[in-house]
Amino acid sequence: MKPPRSLKARALQWLAQREHSRVELRRKLLPHAVAEVELASSDAASAEPAPAARVEAALDWLEAHGYLSTERFVESRVHARSGRFGNLRIRHELKQHQVALPAEAAQVLKDSELQRARAVRERKFAQVPTSAAERARQARFLAGRGFSPDVIARALRTTVRADDEPDAADSAPR
């Protein structure tokens, strides 16, 4: 029987598959650290460090050696999600991982949100909405994907202007 893998080995295996946040790795490693401490305490009366301390030490080692990077995680998550989701959804996911979106990446996402919303809508729906019910259905779909109300309204318009900038008719209250 193989000996159990260390916390570092487990973390490296997960990081080799995809980028993880520190919070995510902590959540995944903690049960294994608890199991290791329980196994060690049943074998011998040794003074093992607390499982949380062991996990934090492993995470610190991973960061110090460049295996765990917040910047790479953010870049990876934004790249993976930007084709399907809006800014609100991406920001929410990053917030769950206790990571902030850098200003430069936020600006890039903001600048491309309308084009991304249109592309997502076109992949899901064959036609532009022709009735109020269909418009509401498509708007709910885009809202569920995390696009802002302003972008949804602009993405559902039937005419596409070259500059995609709101004019006086766009900013008038409805």
Residue-wise pLDDT tens digits, 99-118: 999 999 999 999 999 999 99
How many domains in the chain?
A: 2
Q: pTM for the full model?
A: 0.77
Higher pLDDT, 13 or 40: 13
In a domain, 74, yes or no: yes
- pLDDT tens for residues 153-162? 999 985 455 4
Q: Would you say residue 170 lies in a domain? A: no
State how far Cα 105 lies from the chain centre: 13
- Domain extent, residue 36, equals 7-64
Type and span of the H or E element at 62:
helix 51-64
**Quick one: 85 and 145 in the same domain?**
yes
The angle subtended at Cα 128 by Cα 125 and Cα 133, nearest 5°, is 85
Amino acid sitting at position 18: R
Residues 144, 159, single domain; the answer is: yes
